Each structure stands twice: as structure tokens, then as C-alpha cells.
Structure 1
Amino acid sequence: MTEPHRPLTLAVVEVTNARPHARSYDAYTRGMITRTVNDATALGWDAMLLSAEQLGTAALLDATERADAIAIMGGEDIAPEFYGASGGYEGEGRHYRGADAAELALVRRAALSGTPLLGICRGHQIINVAFGGTLLQHVQESGHRITDLPVEYALVEHPVQLDRSSTLALRLGEHVTVQSGHHQVVDRVGRGLRAVGWSPDGHIEAIEHEVLPITGVQWHPEAPLAAEGQLERLLDGLEREALRGVLA
């Protein structure tokens, strides 16, 4: 494979760079995001961390204009008005509407430009909403997160079945063990997307675009106890897709 003339640039996008009201959650989330940036850098990416809430839509689009690939990370619930729903649901917390708008715009531009994009947890849901999909606002079944322990123990390990025809299955295998910590899931799948992964209770755990290099996973491959090599294989998939664009 011919190497590009420069390091590939990966934009890692977080919701916000400060949560003074939720320091434990912020520290835990930041640890996983930092791991993503560090692992990407070790794999040869020129990785940059960007905060959607602080930048806003115009500045985030400007900062990522030349990115070869994008990873949208986890965080708070998306404000329900972005997918045609109402607030007041069980488990609803703080919303970052500026970050929501900026990340949705970023996904839509990636679709137009063909920029490879990976969404993790909230990022997976952002992808679905950007393509007109909806979210199930609160998962009643247990097995997706732990709510009665400190945040560092909130993730749950469970299996995911991947569609054997999916790109994700090619990268990770049809049966994967994942770390999840969420109370919302994809409901109606957005236009051009298809569900390619499911938890044992039938909820959608992964989506892919039918033709574009856009993938979302509901789980956390960057979690401290995630299966070894899972994040690296997803980043390698982004690299392969980005190289196709650079060398085209």
C-alpha cells in the first residue's frame, strides 16, 4: 500500500472540555477520550482533540475542514428536539445544544464530502439523528449500564451480534464482547443507514451507512476494560478508508 505524503489527520470531537457540575463524570469521560487520542497518535495519526460546545458549529466545521477522518465521542443525551421528541423523559440530564448542533452539522458535511467517520456511544446516536433517525429515550431493561454505583463502575460488559455482511464484522468478528454505559439507543434508523449490531435484548448496537464510510457503535471500545485491540481495529478501519480518499 502506498503511503500518503503526510500523516493522516484525525479529528476527535468531544461534547465539552469542562463539566464543573459533574467532575467525576468529566474525569472518567476525559480518560477514555484521552486514550483515543493517545492510541491514534501511537498508530501514526496526527490526532487533534476538539470540543464541540466551546467551538460551536462554524468553528468546528472550520477546524475539521482538512481532517482525513473524524471520531465523535460519547457524552450527554442529545437534546430531544433534534429528533422530533419532547423532554421530561426518565433519566434526562443536562443537554449541550450547541454541541448537538455542531456535531450534527459535522456528520452531514462528512456525508457530503465522503470523510470517514466513527461515532462512539453518543457519537453513534448523533450519526443516526443527523440522517433523520430517532432515539428510544430510556431503556427500561437492565444490562446497558449500572446506575447505583460510582461512574467508574457504570459500564456493563455484554455480547453484541454483528451482521456477518457488515464492515464491522469484517474488522471485529461476528461475535464481540463490549463495554456499554448508556440509557438511550437508536430507535428508527436514519435514511441511508442500516443496523448491523444488536444486544441480546434486541436493541441496536451498531449502524453503518449503506455506501459512505460512516460507522457508529453504541459501546465504548476506548473503555479501560474494553476487549484488547478493539479500539485499534476500529482506528485501523478509519485509516484504510481515509487512505482511499487521500490516494484516490
Structure 2
Amino acid sequence: MTALPSVTTVEVFHPLTSRPDAPEFHDLLGVLNDGVRAAVDALGWSVHFTASGEVGADAALAAARDADLLIVLGGEDVTPTLYGATADYEDAGLHRPAADIAEIAVIRDAVARRAPLLGICRGLQLINVAFGGTLVQHLPPDCLHRDPGADPFVTTTVAPVPGTDADGLDLASPVRCTHHQAVDELGAGLTVVARAGDGVVEAVLHEDAPLTGVQWHPEHPDVAVDQLTALLERMRRQLERVSRSDAAAS
């Protein structure tokens, strides 16, 4: 069996290091980022964060290629022109096109290299857009996926799609989520493996590469110690499988 790296390196992509135009939202994302850092640190691995909207696609790609595992985090709505739509939808907020473009490049490159990548919330939506998919631009306010109150997160459940293989994803535990957009038309090469009770896509896998997208937030402090840790360990197993396959082919 091919040995795993002695210290697994994780590169985490997020849009920005500051948001003077949205300080409360930035603070919320900071809590989630801290959940990622804590989960990786607890495994004894190395973690680095790249602000994709500040460094651009070339630097983001270079950072991705230096790491073992990749994570694309949440943030603002995906830039609508990237999936052939306009910005005149209900509750349209700020967009970060430079971050979206850089992270789409990272996602496509990861698939080409078969590098394990996890997309969370917006990260799942970027995965879909990267392969030609589209998004539902606004879910109704009474949906299962967000709370209009001070704490926007809700606890919900997801269900596996019959006839699909979730490849070890935990689809039994309650999850924390907050989002008003969702996958609409599915991107090429992707399979939906979980949905919410209202049919909204909650998890996708790539048919050929170790690429996973989840619409919920496994890095939320209420669940990160269990859910994100399990996803990270699953990614390391994917890395081992790819390394073993590459060794057999050489």
C-alpha cells in the first residue's frame, strides 16, 4: 500500500481576508474558517488559507498544486454571469468575481489532476458552475435552508438519492446550513447523491475524480469536530487511493 504523507497539507480557499463593505458577514465567515483550522490542527495536519479574490487564479493554482487536499469555502453568491444569468434576482447581494474565477480554475485543475477537493456551500455551487451547471438564484424565505433571524443557520436533514453511491459520506446526521441559492441544472460529470426534504441538492460527487460538494456547513462550530473531521479523513483516504492507482499505472 502506498504510504500517506507524514503530514497532510490542506489548502483552503476563501474569497477575501476583509470585507469593509460587509463586516458582520465577514465575522460570520471567520467563525466558519476557524472551524476548518481547528479541525485540521486537531488531526496534526498543516493548513493554509488563500484569499482567492486577492491573489488571482495563477497564485491560487500554484497554492493548490503544493497541497495534498483542497477545500473551497462559502461566501457571497456566485457571480451570475458565470452561469449565464443576470444579477436582478431577489435578495441579490455582493458578488466576488475574482474569487469565483480563481476558484473555478482550482476546481477544474483538481479534477484534471485527481486531487481530492471538498466544496462547502458556495463551494458546491462553484463546482456545479465550473462544469457548466446553473443555480437556482433565490429559494423562498420559508424554505428549509436558512433562518431570517439573527442566527441564519438552521439544522436540517438530508437523504441519499436512491440508486447512487455516496462514497462514504455521512448522510444520516443532522446538518447546519444557511443558503438562499442552490444547484439547478447539473454540471457535466457530476452526480447528485443527497437532497433535502424539499428536493434541493445537498451533495454532489464527480464521476471520475475525488471531488465532493456539500451544501451544508460541516465546519460550523456545533458540528465540526465530528462532521468536518470525518470529511477530512475521507479525503485522505481518497488521496491514498489516487496515489496507489498512479503507482500501479507507472
**Distance in 2 of aligned mates of 1:5 and 1:220:** 27
**Distance in 1 of aligned mates of 2:98 and 2:5:** 35
SS at the partner of 2:236?
helix
Alignment of 1:87-166 (within 5 A): 87-140=87-140, 141-147=142-148, 149-150=149-150, 153-163=151-161, 165-166=164-165
8 Å CA contact 1:8–1:242 kept in 2: the answer is: no
8 Å CA contact 2:9–2:67 kept in 1: the answer is: yes
Summarize the Cα distance change of 1:194–1:171 in structure 2 as closer, same or farther, 3 Å threshold: closer
Asked if 1:218 is matched to 2:219, the reply is: no
Asked if 1:167 is matched to 2:166, the reply is: yes
Letter in structure 1 aligned against 2:155? E
Deviation at 1:227, TM superposition (A): 7.1
> 2:33 — aligned with what?
33
8 Å CA contact 2:16–2:53 kept in 1: the answer is: yes
- Higher mean C-alpha displacement, 204-213 vs 2-11: 2-11
**Distance in 2 of aligned mates of 1:215 and 1:229:** 17
SS at the partner of 1:241?
helix
Over the matched positions of the two proteins, sequence identity in percent amounts to 39
> 1:72 — aligned with what?
72
Deviation at 1:201, TM superposition (A): 0.6
Asked if 1:186 is matched to 2:183, the reply is: yes
**Distance in 2 of aligned mates of 1:67 and 1:227:** 21
Deviation at 1:2, TM superposition (A): 5.5
Summarize the Cα distance change of 1:177–1:228 in structure 2 as closer, same or farther, 3 Å threshold: farther
Letter in structure 2 aligned against 1:145? R
**Distance in 2 of aligned mates of 1:182 and 1:139:** 8
Summarize the Cα distance change of 1:88–1:79 in structure 2 as closer, same or farther, 3 Å threshold: same
Deviation at 1:243, TM superposition (A): 2.3
SS at the partner of 1:220?
coil
Summarize the Cα distance change of 1:2–1:211 in structure 2 as closer, same or farther, 3 Å threshold: closer
SS at the partner of 2:98?
helix
- Higher mean C-alpha displacement, 79-88 vs 159-168: 159-168
**Distance in 2 of aligned mates of 1:208 and 1:189:** 11
Summarize the Cα distance change of 1:246–1:8 in structure 2 as closer, same or farther, 3 Å threshold: farther
Letter in structure 2 aligned against 1:30? G
**Distance in 1 of aligned mates of 2:95 and 2:190:** 25
> 2:203 — aligned with what?
206
For each residue in 1:96-138, what CA deviation from the matched residue of structure 2 results, as whole angstroms up to 9, or x when unmatched?
Answer: 1100100001001011111110000000101000011100000
Asked if 1:231 is matched to 2:228, the reply is: yes
For each residue in 1:53-91, what CA deviation from the matched residue of structure 2 results, as whole angstroms up to 9, or x when unmatched?
Answer: 111111111122221110000110011000011111001
Q: TM-score, normalised by structure 2?
A: 0.92
Summarize the Cα distance change of 1:118–1:5 in structure 2 as closer, same or farther, 3 Å threshold: closer
**Distance in 1 of aligned mates of 2:227 and 2:4:** 25
> 1:63 — aligned with what?
63
Point out where structure 1 has 5 or more consecutive residues left out of the alignment: none
RMSD: 1.6
For each residue in 1:159-209, what CA deviation from the matched residue of structure 2 results, as whole angstroms up to 9, or x when unmatched?
Answer: 1002364235x3314x33111100000001100001111111111111111
Q: TM-score, normalised by structure 1?
A: 0.92
Point out where structure 2 has 5 or more consecutive residues left out of the alignment: none
Deviation at 1:23, TM superposition (A): 1.6
8 Å CA contact 2:35–2:224 kept in 1: the answer is: no
